[in-house]
Structures are given as structure tokens and as C-alpha cells.
Structure 1
Amino acid sequence: MGVSIRVRVVSFEAWNITRFMFVTGKRREIAGASELITCLDRRWVQESLREVFGQGYGAGWRIEECPAELLESGAGTAKVLVRGEGEARRLVAAVTGRALRQAPGLDVCGVVSGDFEWGRPGGLHRALGECAEGLAGVRTALPGPEARFLRLPVVDSCRATGLPAARVLRLPDGSVEARSAESAAKWRAYGRQGEGEGLGRLAELAGTRPRALAEVVEHLNERAEWVGTVYADGNGLGRVFGSFERCVEGESNRAYADAFRAFSAGLQECTREAFGCAVAELEGLGAALKGGVVPVLPLVLGGDDMVALCAGEWALAFAEAYLRAFERLTAEQEAVAGPLGRLEEEEGAAGSSGGVGLSACAGVAVVKPHFPFVDAQRLAYALLREAKQVKERVPGPCSGLSFHVLYDGTQADLGRLREQCTLAGTPAGASGEGVTRLVAQPYVVGDPAPGVAWVRGRRWADLLERVAALMARGLDGERLLPSSQVHAVREALFVGPRVADAQFAVMRGRYGGRGLECVGGDAGSVFWEEEPGGRWVCGLLDAMDAVGFVPPAPDEAATVGGGADAALAGERA
């Protein structure tokens, strides 16, 4: 039966990460917020463990011989095994107290599970599930920052967060502003002239020096023409953790704990390595700024989550490279692939412990640099949720990507944007009266399972092929497909599918053989049927949006950049 002791799980989570990070449009404060979020798993839990259990605490503690054990930490979460209820509650108070003092405005929740007998198999899995349910209730009941920072006596408002000002902050340009305690904490984390701990940690993640990354922050803040917000998230982790007992070799709680810790650590390592691989790929494409640093600022790299800011013209290439690297690395990492393989075998699906990895999805919102970042973040997250369709449509690990280049700042709601691109009716020759969608997103990254009709025309390579056709130039330097003709088809799309096909037929008659077949769909139409009897979709709008925001093929004369090549998209707004 194993060691007869009673154990509880203490689970922590920083749950308002999105608001805390993106409530301001200041890149320096966003970088400082990223640092404070990671303090939960990097500092506060370890410091609190030493406070509660003594300075002798170490990472090697195991619950069989010691009063506590750090089970897992990362991405603004932590899980600890504790023997006594009193010690567990003291640990929650110590961690959340540190969060309140050092990162005002960041909501950190802690819950304690019921106790279970360590020697009885299955107890740890049930306790983790109990904590997950308990955190949901605590998050709902916890008052937000606005309720904790009251305005009596009357004080000035912080220009960054809207909360009551707590102090006057001197900015790098010499000016002073009234700022809240939350804003001031982010500035301290960023550090004077970008030399603080926060930027140092982010620079290490980005594989560069703090001063070089400070140049990236300055570029994104002041000089970038477009800025991309990239959200990426692994697929199927809820299913894995919900059934993790089937991923473990052996039934004991010790085997479960060791496998859980190794899986979580391996997943975080894959996320960070995938980020590094994507940055290196951009560097190989010539994305580096003066000084050799690639314009990508990592904000969240933990668990299966990745959030980053990137110069807009490289954001799509970065996201696609990250998804490919994440799939490859999770299949190669034994601590991740091993448990996944056992779960696949348990469920009777194809796969083995040596080559089963995870896929991921990403959403990319490309906006102007001074567009409110809280809105850009919401759009990127909505695009991520849209990209999750891929895991429902394609069996097996398969990544997906959705994106939007926002020209009209008054319409940052993805639901409204997609509604405008959904029309009643079908192209000429189609049977029945169905629905036509003017975009084909999300796009599939990687190698989808063969025989899935839905992926036709939706592979990332299909999008790149359409973009290449729109950007291609002849020997005289003129575009092979004139922008005026492409825009005529675009305008016809919003009139109706049959009008668009008629305009496309005119263009085919004049410019056939110039790559126009890459832009079109079925039987000379600009549309294709995604599945037999399903909707009709079009890839032209996606390709026009992507022009200037994906790297050209090496033999293309066109240059990448949201300026010159965005001329093709000039009438999109």
C-alpha cells in the first residue's frame, strides 16, 4: 500500500493574466507585467515554502520523508503537496500575501484539497481534479482590482490602468505622470533603462541581451509600422490531464507525481525551445533589426501557452514557425511523448510512445502600434479560439492558425468581422441555396491526416501559394496580376458569389496562365466547396490580407513589409 500518510494538494493560479498584462498599451509595462506574473512560480511559492517549513526546504523534498513537495510550477500556476491542513492554509496566505504586496492588481488564488491517503492509488488524481473545481469557484468570488483600490479620499486616476493613482512616476523622457500601485510595480519589474530582472529574464528567453531586447521594446513602441499580437495554445491538454492516470506506468501516487512533474517540465521546455526555433527561423529570413536582434518580445512562455508581440510584417511567419516547432519537439520529448503514447494505446487509437506529440493553435492580430492593446489581445484570443476548429475537423495532432490584419480600428470584434464575410447564396452551378464564406480560415499547419476533405485549400502552403501569385512580377517589374483587377474581384465578392465569379471569369480571360489558378477554387470559380454539401469558401481575401505580412519566396523580387506591399491591400479599409 506504500507509505501511510495523509496528504493535501495546494493549488495556485494567477487567473487575470490577460487584464493585468494588456490593460496598458505601454510595451515597457507589458514586459514588467510578464515578469510579475512569473514571480508566482519562480519566487513566491519557493519563498513561502521556506517561510512555512523552514529554510531547509529544497526542490528535492518528497512527501514520503518531508512535510511538503513542489509538484509542478510554471505559466502562473503551481501545485504543492502538503501533509497538514494548517500548514497548507498558511502556505496559501503566504503566497497570496506576497502577490498582494509585490504585484497589486494581479489576482492570485489558492485552494486546498481534502486529504487523502498517500499509499492508496488514485488519490492524487482525484485531489487535483478537486482543486481545479475549487479554483473556478474562488475566481468567481474574488473581488477584482477595482474593488480593492478605492477612491476615497478622491485621488487622480492612473493614465495607464485607470485605477486610483498611488504615486508620481518619472518616465524615461523626463516627464512625470500619476500612476497606480499596479503600474508602478510593473515599471519596477521592467527596471531602469531596461536593466531590471524582468527584461533580463525575457532576454534570456529570447536568446539575446537585455539592452538588445530593450531595443525591441522601443521599436515596437515607437518605430514599428505594424505590431502583431500572437497567442498560441496547445491542443488536447484538458483531455490529457483529465485522464492522466492512464498516462502513468504504475498505479501509485508516487509514480503519478513523478510522471506529472516530468510531463509538465517537459511541456514547458518544448514551449520555450519552440519559441527559440521560431526566432532563429526569422533571423535566417533576415528579420533582425539593426544590432542583430529579432523584433519579437516574449510575454508568456509556460506550460503550453505562448504570448508574444512581434513586428507585424513577421508575425505570421513567426506563429507558423512556432507551431511547426512545437509539434516536432513534443513528439521528440520523451517526458511528453511517452505519457501521450500510453494514453493513445489505452484509448485504442493509433500511435506509439515514441512519436506521439501535441499540436497547437495560434491566433495573430496585426494592428497599428498605438491601437489599444487590450483590444488587440481580445482579437488575437478570439482568433485562437477560431483556430481550434482544426482539432475538431482533423483527426490526430494537427495545428491551426487564424489571423486578421486590422485596417478599420472601429471593428475589432471577430464575430462581426466574420459575419460581414458570410453571405447567403452559392456560386453559379452550385446546387441548392446555401451559405458562402469569403474567408477560408483557419489554416492547417503541418501534415494533416490524409483524406480529410475540409483541409483542401486550407493548408498554410495554399495560402502562401496564393500570396506568391498576387505578389509575382514580370521582367518589366509589373505585377502579373494587376492590383486593380484583383480589387475588382474583391469588391464583387461582397455583392454576391455569382457576381464575383462573373468578374473572376473576366479576369481569367485576360490573365489566365499567370498564376490565377492558385487564387481560384473549383471549376473556374473563385470559391470551392469545403465538404460535399457544405459551405462554399474563398481564399482571396485571406491572401490579400497576408500580402506584405509573409516572407516572399527566395526567387521573388517583391519585398516584405507592411508598407510597399500593403499597397495591394490599400483599398481593404
Structure 2
Amino acid sequence: MSVRVRLVSFEAWNITRFMFVTGKQREIAGASELITHLDRRWVRESLREVFGQGYGPGWRIEERPAELLESGAGTAKVLVRGKDEARRLVTAVTGRALRQAPGLDVCGVVGGEFEWERPGGLHRALDECAEELAGVRTALPGPDARFLRLPVVDSCRATGLPAAQVLGLPDGPVEARSAESVAKWRAYGRRGEGEGLARMAELAGTRPRALAEVVEHLNDRAEWVGTVYADGNGLGRVFGSFERCVEGESNRAYAEEFRAFSAGLQECTREAFGCAVAELEGLGAALKGGIVPVLPLVLGGDDMVALCAGEWALPFAEAYLRAFERLTAVRETVAGPLGRLEQAETGAAGPSVGAGLSACAGVAVVKPHFPFVDAQRLAYALLREAKQVKEKVPGPCSGLSFHVLYDSTQAGLGRLRDPCTLAGTPAGAGAGEGTTRLVAQPYVVGDRGAGVAWVRGRRWADLLDRVAALTARVADGERLLPSSQVHALREALFAGPRVADAQFAVLRGRYGGRGLERVGGDAESLFWREEPGGRWVCGLLDAMDVVGFVPPARDEAAAVGGGADAAPAEERA
């Protein structure tokens, strides 16, 4: 007998608003836990409600009325026999979300019916549900429309929604809080004993009480806090052509490959996070008690969102990207399908060796009481900027963009980057019009991109080398390149590239041989051309911004052979 099946797809889509609408680290941690309830609890509980307590993860649609195809990162996909059962499942899941996580928008759609025995049906159903979800998301009223203000009630200090009850906070007075805020506090637990912190502590490889110390540090004691957004590259292309990743044409082969690939990708994300935390620990990033100041918020699929002590946010993001590339290249459930897709696209005779994924990251480093919703938006915009590497470098290549927000009046990336794009070119560029960009971001992480002109000067190692040149000191602690002179050079940048190069020439005459040439570009200029006929760019601003936010370099006094006596007389004075 032919089995007729429908795909039911769920998605929590306003994750960033739900998580970052508050400035309290504890509520952010609680929101992170509630988001995972969709794939960890609500779908499974609803399956048992609709199909009986006998439901288990081993159910397969050929013999059973439902099958959990994939879950993670605030999404879930279920195969169901019967339209009524599919609708009841959507009602059960979204009802749980409304009751247990008010303010979190969870959408569910029921796809069209298809014959399970006919090849290609599951792939088409996944595409159709993805399109339908986009329409449902835009039509669904937001939290402000669902929480009415009649009768008149007080507003929640954290979310701005109508207050639902009075809540006693462990770090402050009794406050009126919305149902959304109360749910986050309950998920976190009054003293960090909630399920959310236990889950995040397991991801971070530590104990809940220890991770509670990280939350307290980021909330109350950290001088800077980094918001890190990371996202895999090319997953849209992979899932859009996933039928070419599968060995066999049946829907069962597709389902098993899809499930294994999704699970393997989530494992790589979590392991890459663990590797990055371990690398920070090796760099000496631990707080008192040996706790690394990183708080995982989202670890699912190819997505990673974390909060980190600001001084370690950039090393953490760079280490995560390297680990993600490495792990996806060796995990067979991920690399195998990617290799088959590459083979199908290129027509290669044999399977691809070491086929993996790359990722990009955006890092926004802000003061601890800066609005987190704005820090999140900046980090996400930086992530989108980092995605340029996909267009510039063939093959998988990871990229990283960042900003340290010293001036909180301009938090939008466009307003931060516009002053760094100037009309005009350096003196050595010759006649003609052009533009110069005073930042070189995004930076390429890893070894990909050899021979690509755009990559020159944009490797992560290039940035670290510039920072090392700016911070190098002689034996008595004096800087080889005086800070006052470097800041004067920075000011000259905004007067135009020709003025900056003139100042650079003066400094070369006084501080030649002290590493100043390492911050420059082409032909004794501060700038280099990113591509033939392209813009001129400069790496000095990037390096100056991250001094103190990357691991300290080794003492390079011996490399320049200088001491205090080598400095000009006015600097010694």
C-alpha cells in the first residue's frame, strides 16, 4: 500500500529580539534556554500528545504515523501521515510555545501530501515548506500585538511589554515584569540552578555554578563584552541541492542522509565551540577558579552566538572558525555529502578529499551596559560584511569582521564605516580618481585564498603582525613606536591618503628599522591596492582598534636590536 506523507516544519524566527531585548545577562541566558525548548522538548512532547506515549525517536514513517526528521537551532521537521494529525501537531507545539515562552514567535506549516515511494518528494516538500514559512512569519502578529494594555498596567522594565506580575530579582528590588521576562528568569533559575544554565554549562565543559560566575562577571565586572555571531558558508546551496549529496534516489535514503548531515553539523558546531574555549584557556583567559569567560547562547546547525569577555572575543572567534573548518572536513556525515555534491558539480571522477565547510563571524565589542540589542545588530551586520570572502575567494574560506565601539553614539555599521571611505588615492597611485578605504576588513581566517590578490594584507596573521609592531617594546618597557606618533598618523588618515603618506614618510625617517614598515602597504605607503584597478586600503586603523583585544605578542626588542638609547632624544625625555 502506498504511504502518503506530509512534512510539518517549525521555526522560532524572532530569536535575536527575544534574546537581546533585555540588558540583563541572566535573562539573556534564560532566553537561550527557552529557544532550545522547541527542538529539545516541545516537539517531542507534542508528538507523544498527538500520537501516544509510545512515540520514540526510532519511529520511521514506513511503519509509524510520524517520524522526527531533524531538530536543532530553533527548528524542527516532522514527517506525518494525515492532514488532521499534522494540524494537531502544529497546534500542540505552538500552544506550548505561547504558554511557556511568551514573546517567542514559533511558526508551524503543514506541507502538501506526497507519495513516500516516489523519489524526490521529500526534497520538494522541504523547499515548499521553506517558502510557506516565510509567508507565515510576515503575517504573524508580533508580541506587542498579542499583549494588550487594557486594562492599563505598568510596563516591564526589561521588554517594554505589559507587566504580568511583580518579580523579586536577586540583584535588585522587586520589579513589575512581563510574562516574557518572568519566563526567562524561571528558565535561568534564581541562583543559576535552572535547566538553562545546566545545558549551557555542559556545552562550555564546566559546572552550572561556574558558568553562573561567568554570567555575573559579564553582567557586573567585565570592562568590555563581546557579542560573537558565527554562521556557516554555503549551506543554502547545499540544502538547495541536497538530492545530489545523497547516495540513492529513494526518500528513505534522502531522509537518513539529511538527518545524519544535520546532526553531524550540529556536533561540529558544538565541538568547535569547545575547541575555542580550550584554546582560550591555554592563552590564560580563565577567571578566578579557572573559568573561561564565554557564555554560549546559540549552538545549533551552523549557527553560533556567544557572549565573551571583550578582551578575548576576537581570539575566541578566530579559534572557533579554524576549528569549524577542520571538524567539518573530517566528520564523515558532513564531509561525505559535501564531497558528493562537489563531485556532481565539477564532474570529477572520484570523491572529493577533505571537503568541508567554512564559516564567517562578526564580533562587536562594547561596554557592558551598552544596549545588547544594538550590540547584537552590530555583530550581525559585521557577520554580513564578513560574508564578502565568499565572493572574493573561491572555495570554502572563513572570514572575520569586528568593531570595538569606543564611541557609543554611532552603533550602526554604515555610520561606522562611511567615514572610513575617502575620495582620493595615495601619492604613488598616479593620476586619476578613486577611493581609499581606511579599514581592511574582513580578514581571512585559515590558509585558503593563496594566489588571490584580494587576500593580500587581509589574513588574520597580517593583522596580528601589525598589532605586534605597534606594541613591541624594548627591555625597559618603552614602546619602539611611540603612541603619540602613531596616533598622529591615525589623525592624518582622515585628512586624506596623500597627507597620511606624507606623515608616514616623516615617521619612517625617524623610526626606520623599528617595525613601522610592517603596518604599511605598497612602495613605502600606508596603503595597498586590494585588486588590480580596485580600491586602496589600509590596515593601521584595524590594528590600533584591537590593541589589547588580541593575545600579546612576544617581546621583539631583539629583532630590532634597539634599546632605550636608540630612541630619539625627545622620546627619551
Q: Given the two structures, how large is their TM-score scaled by the length of structure 2?
A: 0.96
Matches of residues 330-409 of structure 1 in structure 2 within 5 Å? 330-348=328-346, 352-409=351-408
Match of 2:150 in 1: 152
Alpha-carbon distance between aligned partners in 1 of 2:553 and 2:241, rounded to the nearest angstrom:
44
2:445 pairs with 1:445 = yes
Q: 1:28 to 1:556 in 2, by over 3 A?
A: farther
CA displacement, residues 279-299 of structure 1 (integer Å, 9 cap, x when unaligned): 000000000000111000000
Alpha-carbon distance between aligned partners in 1 of 2:249 and 2:447, rounded to the nearest angstrom:
35
Alpha-carbon distance between aligned partners in 1 of 2:458 and 2:147, rounded to the nearest angstrom:
48
What is the identity, as a one-letter code, of the residue corresponding to 2:111?
A: S
Residue 554 of structure 1 deviates from its aligned partner by 4.4
Q: Please, which of 183, 205, 208 is the counterpart of residue 207 of structure 1?
A: 205
Match of 1:466 in 2: 466
CA displacement, residues 152-186 of structure 1 (integer Å, 9 cap, x when unaligned): 00000000000000000001135200000000000
CA displacement, residues 201-224 of structure 1 (integer Å, 9 cap, x when unaligned): 000000000000000000000000
Checking the alignment, whether the CA contact within 8 Å between 2:474 and 2:556 is kept in structure 1 is no
Match of 1:562 in 2: none
Checking the alignment, whether the CA contact within 8 Å between 2:474 and 2:555 is kept in structure 1 is no
CA displacement, residues 35-94 of structure 1 (integer Å, 9 cap, x when unaligned): 000000000000000000000000000000000000000000000000100000000000
2:93 pairs with 1:58 = no
Alignment size in residue pairs: 555
Alpha-carbon distance between aligned partners in 2 of 1:25 and 1:416, rounded to the nearest angstrom:
23
CA displacement, residues 348-397 of structure 1 (integer Å, 9 cap, x when unaligned): 07794441000000000000000000000000000000000001100111
Checking the alignment, whether the CA contact within 8 Å between 1:423 and 1:435 is kept in structure 2 is yes
Residue 4 of structure 1 deviates from its aligned partner by 1.9
Residue 450 of structure 1 deviates from its aligned partner by 2.0
Residue 556 of structure 1 deviates from its aligned partner by 6.5
CA displacement, residues 423-468 of structure 1 (integer Å, 9 cap, x when unaligned): 0000002132100000000000001232100000000000000000
Checking the alignment, whether the CA contact within 8 Å between 2:293 and 2:309 is kept in structure 1 is yes
Alpha-carbon distance between aligned partners in 1 of 2:355 and 2:238, rounded to the nearest angstrom:
13
Matches of residues 176-325 of structure 1 in structure 2 within 5 Å? 176-325=174-323
2:115 pairs with 1:102 = no
C-alpha RMSD of the superposition: 1.0
Match of 1:40 in 2: 38
Residue 140 of structure 1 deviates from its aligned partner by 0.4
Residue 506 of structure 1 deviates from its aligned partner by 0.4
Percent identity (aligned) = 89
Alpha-carbon distance between aligned partners in 2 of 1:174 and 1:166, rounded to the nearest angstrom:
18
Residue 484 of structure 1 deviates from its aligned partner by 0.8
> Which shows bigger deviation, 456-465 or 348-357?
348-357
Moved over 2 A (4+): 349-354, 553-557
SS of residue in 2 equivalent to 1:357: coil
Checking the alignment, whether the CA contact within 8 Å between 1:228 and 1:312 is kept in structure 2 is yes
SS of residue in 2 equivalent to 1:178: strand
Q: Please, which of 55, 65, 69 is the counterpart of residue 67 of structure 2?
A: 69
SS of residue in 2 equivalent to 1:251: coil
Alpha-carbon distance between aligned partners in 2 of 1:512 and 1:64, rounded to the nearest angstrom:
75
Alpha-carbon distance between aligned partners in 1 of 2:491 and 2:423, rounded to the nearest angstrom:
16
Checking the alignment, whether the CA contact within 8 Å between 2:38 and 2:76 is kept in structure 1 is yes
SS of residue in 2 equivalent to 1:166: strand
Checking the alignment, whether the CA contact within 8 Å between 2:10 and 2:75 is kept in structure 1 is yes
Checking the alignment, whether the CA contact within 8 Å between 2:473 and 2:555 is kept in structure 1 is no
Residue 518 of structure 1 deviates from its aligned partner by 1.0
Checking the alignment, whether the CA contact within 8 Å between 1:467 and 1:543 is kept in structure 2 is yes
Alpha-carbon distance between aligned partners in 1 of 2:105 and 2:169, rounded to the nearest angstrom:
26
Checking the alignment, whether the CA contact within 8 Å between 1:228 and 1:365 is kept in structure 2 is yes
Alpha-carbon distance between aligned partners in 1 of 2:217 and 2:351, rounded to the nearest angstrom:
45
Checking the alignment, whether the CA contact within 8 Å between 2:70 and 2:78 is kept in structure 1 is yes
CA displacement, residues 112-148 of structure 1 (integer Å, 9 cap, x when unaligned): 1000000000000000000000000000000000000
SS of residue in 1 equivalent to 2:428: coil
Checking the alignment, whether the CA contact within 8 Å between 2:66 and 2:78 is kept in structure 1 is yes
What is the identity, as a one-letter code, of the residue corresponding to 2:411?
A: A
What is the identity, as a one-letter code, of the residue corresponding to 1:292?
A: G
Checking the alignment, whether the CA contact within 8 Å between 1:161 and 1:183 is kept in structure 2 is yes
Alpha-carbon distance between aligned partners in 2 of 1:161 and 1:352, rounded to the nearest angstrom:
52
Match of 1:569 in 2: none
Match of 2:411 in 1: 412
SS of residue in 1 equivalent to 2:296: strand
Match of 1:23 in 2: 21
Checking the alignment, whether the CA contact within 8 Å between 1:31 and 1:190 is kept in structure 2 is yes
Checking the alignment, whether the CA contact within 8 Å between 2:119 and 2:250 is kept in structure 1 is yes
Match of 2:570 in 1: none
Match of 1:539 in 2: 539
CA displacement, residues 548-572 of structure 1 (integer Å, 9 cap, x when unaligned): 0000134479xxxxxxxxxxxxxxx
SS of residue in 2 equivalent to 1:78: strand
Alpha-carbon distance between aligned partners in 1 of 2:114 and 2:105, rounded to the nearest angstrom:
28
Alpha-carbon distance between aligned partners in 2 of 1:313 and 1:173, rounded to the nearest angstrom:
25
SS of residue in 2 equivalent to 1:309: strand
CA displacement, residues 237-283 of structure 1 (integer Å, 9 cap, x when unaligned): 00000000000000000000000000000000000000000000000
Match of 1:520 in 2: 520
What is the identity, as a one-letter code, of the residue corresponding to 1:404?
A: H
Unaligned runs of 5+ in 2: 558-573
Checking the alignment, whether the CA contact within 8 Å between 1:338 and 1:354 is kept in structure 2 is no
SS of residue in 2 equivalent to 1:7: strand
Match of 2:571 in 1: none
Checking the alignment, whether the CA contact within 8 Å between 2:449 and 2:455 is kept in structure 1 is no
SS of residue in 2 equivalent to 1:192: coil
Alpha-carbon distance between aligned partners in 1 of 2:415 and 2:225, rounded to the nearest angstrom:
22
Alpha-carbon distance between aligned partners in 2 of 1:82 and 1:332, rounded to the nearest angstrom:
34
Residue 476 of structure 1 deviates from its aligned partner by 2.3
SS of residue in 2 equivalent to 1:534: coil
Residue 302 of structure 1 deviates from its aligned partner by 0.2
Alpha-carbon distance between aligned partners in 1 of 2:420 and 2:450, rounded to the nearest angstrom:
29
Match of 1:564 in 2: none
CA displacement, residues 491-521 of structure 1 (integer Å, 9 cap, x when unaligned): 0000000000000000111111111111000
Checking the alignment, whether the CA contact within 8 Å between 1:231 and 1:380 is kept in structure 2 is yes
Alpha-carbon distance between aligned partners in 2 of 1:331 and 1:349, rounded to the nearest angstrom:
20
Alpha-carbon distance between aligned partners in 1 of 2:548 and 2:37, rounded to the nearest angstrom:
38
SS of residue in 2 equivalent to 1:194: coil
> Which shows bigger deviation, 473-482 or 23-32?
473-482
Alpha-carbon distance between aligned partners in 1 of 2:106 and 2:4, rounded to the nearest angstrom:
26
Alpha-carbon distance between aligned partners in 2 of 1:220 and 1:6, rounded to the nearest angstrom:
52
Match of 1:510 in 2: 510
SS of residue in 1 equivalent to 2:400: strand
Alpha-carbon distance between aligned partners in 2 of 1:231 and 1:554, rounded to the nearest angstrom:
29
> Which shows bigger deviation, 341-350 or 502-511?
341-350
2:137 pairs with 1:139 = yes
Alpha-carbon distance between aligned partners in 2 of 1:289 and 1:369, rounded to the nearest angstrom:
17
Checking the alignment, whether the CA contact within 8 Å between 1:364 and 1:403 is kept in structure 2 is yes
Q: Please, which of 111, 114, 117 is the counterpart of residue 116 of structure 1?
A: 114
Unaligned runs of 5+ in 1: 558-573
Q: 1:153 to 1:282 in 2, by over 3 A?
A: same
Checking the alignment, whether the CA contact within 8 Å between 1:332 and 1:354 is kept in structure 2 is no
SS of residue in 2 equivalent to 1:310: strand
